[in-house]
């Protein structure tokens, strides 16, 4: 990499970082709720309490006790990074956001670097290649969904950065000659850390296998190209797997498998009756197909095309119009892993996709679509040049068009995120102001609610997820943990808060007495029975 290229990479990183820091200054509450989980775990770790949280959001994996060991399903890297920042800056959301902003900003030069490999492979003229690469990196810096990932301190931004690093390393790890093992070791580190960020990193490994196979190397060199990074990745991941085995009474894949049997999103909070394969199959082929249609539409429209505009739409059109892009060694790792992430998530986990499973893993997909967008716009400009007989390349039109389309959508997404975060912060503050009158004291109470992580952090209590099950199940849950109050924000599934009304037709509903002075949009109930009436 020459000096000009290095300066471009640094400039893209700094521009992306400044954009994320500006947005982070507007978001002063951990939204959505999964971000609050990562921040809470990081704060507890930084304060010396260990890798624990004070909320239970799923009852799938014992031990079910407080303090709750964190990350029975999710992965720890985002929290470990945030905890490191908190040790320096203090336990705050801003510290956690800084790590997300840095990770997100790294995506811009990484996308630029992968685009640079692709344009070199395509042998584009120098001016057009620079324009495509700069435009791709600029989308990495300014695309709305990337900005959102960079200010919500969860797994999305670190996973995207590590996945892009792995995708950039893969062609280098497959090159023959001296120095190859250094690239392979780096690749193993990147894939291992990516797995410790999100489990979808396994698709990066499969993408590497496909890339290695398509190069048809000799058996000895192919074996070395695979064994070295695989060994390093296993060494990186193994300590975490040991921790999981020693901490939890059920393997992680067991809860992941349960998520495949979900028929409704609310079933993830089930207490009395967990999701099961038999009930799932009993729903029938038509219903199961409908779930996949809904998941496909959500992942395509609500994750890629709308929040990822223009890359989500134009990138897909570009890939369809230019089949040669799929044959590029520079893009193959991202294309293969992106296809696996999209289709496995859509077909195997269609219901959990509706609550963010694909959204948080979609960074690599949008990255390759951003590159495809610029390559498509560049091809369009070249065609216009020939048709109009322009003397100049006017290659700048491609990145200009991409950024011009992306920025207004990004600003709208920032405004929407800020509005949601502010509204949630106000509601949580209002709940905290009246909670003492309900007998909910910090450090002494256990509550049940449909937003347990926010409640645990805002009230300083232990909090349990509210199952969408009959009141008898809620009483059983409360008895198991000593919970005395249920707090429902808005609506919770199909039952609550209406299910606690005396007219709901459930005898056990009489055991829930509504509390006064609840903020607007919130209802609270005191549990007044030890067990359901006979």
What's residue 254's pLDDT? 79
In the predicted structure, residue 218 carries a pLDDT above the cut 90: no
pLDDT band at 510 (very low <50, low <70, confident <90, very high): confident
In the predicted structure, residue 531 carries a pLDDT above the cut 80: no
In the predicted structure, residue 169 carries a pLDDT above the cut 90: yes
Beta bridge mates, 485: 447, 526
Any idea which of 137-146, 164-173, 335-344, 383-392 has the lowest mean pLDDT? 383-392
Is there a domain that residue 442 lies in? no
Neighbours of 491 (CB within 10 A): 13
What's residue 89's pLDDT? 97
In the predicted structure, residue 220 carries a pLDDT above the cut 70: no
Could you give the number of structural domains in the chain? 1
Helix residue spans in 349-494 (DSSP H)? 350-353, 357-361, 363-388, 397-434, 452-459, 471-481
Q: Does this model's pTM top 0.85?
A: yes
What's residue 217's pLDDT? 62
Is there a domain that residue 491 lies in? no
Nearest to 425, CA basis, from 44, 144, 36 = 36
What's residue 364's pLDDT? 98
DSSP string, 457-501: HHHTSEEEE--SS-HHHHHHHHHHHT--EEEEES-BTTTBTGGGS
Residues 410-439, mean pLDDT to the nearest whole number: 97
Any idea which of 118-132, 165-179, 191-205 has the lowest mean pLDDT? 165-179
Helix, strand and coil in the chain, % to nearest 5 = 70, 5, 25
Is there a domain that residue 426 lies in? no
Q: How far apart are CA 140 and CA 266, in angstroms?
A: 34
Q: How far apart are CA 133 and CA 144, in angstroms?
A: 19
Name the percent of the chain lying above pLDDT 70.
98
What's residue 494's pLDDT? 76
pLDDT band at 75 (very low <50, low <70, confident <90, very high): very high
Nearest to 283, CA basis, from 217, 350, 338, 328 = 350
Is there a domain that residue 326 lies in? yes
Nearest to 364, CA basis, from 235, 197, 532 = 197
Nearest to 283, CA basis, from 292, 296, 271, 270 = 292
Comparing 297 with 178, which gets the higher pLDDT?
Answer: 297
pLDDT band at 534 (very low <50, low <70, confident <90, very high): low
Is there a domain that residue 45 lies in? yes
Range of the domain at 81: 3-419
Residues 204-218, mean pLDDT to the nearest whole number: 85
What's residue 498's pLDDT? 86
Is there a domain that residue 120 lies in? yes
In the predicted structure, residue 375 carries a pLDDT above the cut 80: yes
Average pLDDT taken over every residue of the chain:
94
Is there a domain that residue 470 lies in? no
In the predicted structure, residue 213 carries a pLDDT above the cut 90: no
What's residue 221's pLDDT? 76
Q: How far apart are CA 382 and CA 386, in angstroms?
A: 6
In the predicted structure, residue 505 carries a pLDDT above the cut 80: no
Q: What are phi and psi of 247, to 5 degrees?
A: -90, -40
In the predicted structure, residue 156 carries a pLDDT above the cut 90: yes
In the predicted structure, residue 215 carries a pLDDT above the cut 80: no
What's residue 493's pLDDT? 73
């Amino acid at each position: 990499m020459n000096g000009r290229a290095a300066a471009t990479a640094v400039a893209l990183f700094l521009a992306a970082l400044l954009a994320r820091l500006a947005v982070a200054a507007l978001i002063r509450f951990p939204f959505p709720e999964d971000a609050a989980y990562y921040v809470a775990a990081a704060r507890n770790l930084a304060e010396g309490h260990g890798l624990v949280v004070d909320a239970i959001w799923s009852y799938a994996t014992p031990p079910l006790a407080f303090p709750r060991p964190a990350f029975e399903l999710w992965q720890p890297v985002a929290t470990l990074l945030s905890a490191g920042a908190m040790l320096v800056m203090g336990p705050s959301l801003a510290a956690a956001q800084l790590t997300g902003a840095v990770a997100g900003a790294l995506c811009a030069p990484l996308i630029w670097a992968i685009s640079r490999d692709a344009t070199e492979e395509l042998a584009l003229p120098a001016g057009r290649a620079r324009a495509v690469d700069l435009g791709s990196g600029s989308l990495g810096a300014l695309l709305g969904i990337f900005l959102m990932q960079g200010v919500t301190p969860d797994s999305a931004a670190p996973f995207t950065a590590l996945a892009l690093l792995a995708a950039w390393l893969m062609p280098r790890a497959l090159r023959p000659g001296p120095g190859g093992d250094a690239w392979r070791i780096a690749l193993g580190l990147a894939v291992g850390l990516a797995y410790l960020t999100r489990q979808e990193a396994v698709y990066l490994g499969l993408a590497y296998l496909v890339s290695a196979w398509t190069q048809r190397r000799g058996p000895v060199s192919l074996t070395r190209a695979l064994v070295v990074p695989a060994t390093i990745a296993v060494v990186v991941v193994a300590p975490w797997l040991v921790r999981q085995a020693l901490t939890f009474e059920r393997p992680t894949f067991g809860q992941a498998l349960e998520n495949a049997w979900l028929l409704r999103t609310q079933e993830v909070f089930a207490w009395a009756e967990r999701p099961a394969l038999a009930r799932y199959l009993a729903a029938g082929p038509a219903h199961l197909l409908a779930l996949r249609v809904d998941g496909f539409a959500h992942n395509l429209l609500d994750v890629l095309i709308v929040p990822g505009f223009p890359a989500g739409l134009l990138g897909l059109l570009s890939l369809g119009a230019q089949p040669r892009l799929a044959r590029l060694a520079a893009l193959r790792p991202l294309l293969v892993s992106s296809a696996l992430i999209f289709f496995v998530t859509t077909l195997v986990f269609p219901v959990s996709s509706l609550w963010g499973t694909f959204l948080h893993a979609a960074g690599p997909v949008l990255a390759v679509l951003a590159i495809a967008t610029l390559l498509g716009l560049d091809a369009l400009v070249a065609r216009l040049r020939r048709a109009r007989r322009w003397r100049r390349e006017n290659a700048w039109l491609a990145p200009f068009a991409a950024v011009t389309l992306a920025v207004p959508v990004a600003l709208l997404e920032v405004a929407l995120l800020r509005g949601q975060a502010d509204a949630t912060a106000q509601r949580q503050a209002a709940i905290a102001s009246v909670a003492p009158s309900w007998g909910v004291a910090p450090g002494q109470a256990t509550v049940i609610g449909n937003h347990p992580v926010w409640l645990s952090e805002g009230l300083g209590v232990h909090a349990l997820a509210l199952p969408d099950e009959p009141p008898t199940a809620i009483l059983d849950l409360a008895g198991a943990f000593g919970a005395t109050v249920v707090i429902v924000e808005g609506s919770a599934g199909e039952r609550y808060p209406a299910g606690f009304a005396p007219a709901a037709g459930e005898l056990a509903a009489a055991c829930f007495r509504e509390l006064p002075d609840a903020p607007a949009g919130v209802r609270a109930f005191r549990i007044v029975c030890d067990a359901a009436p006979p």
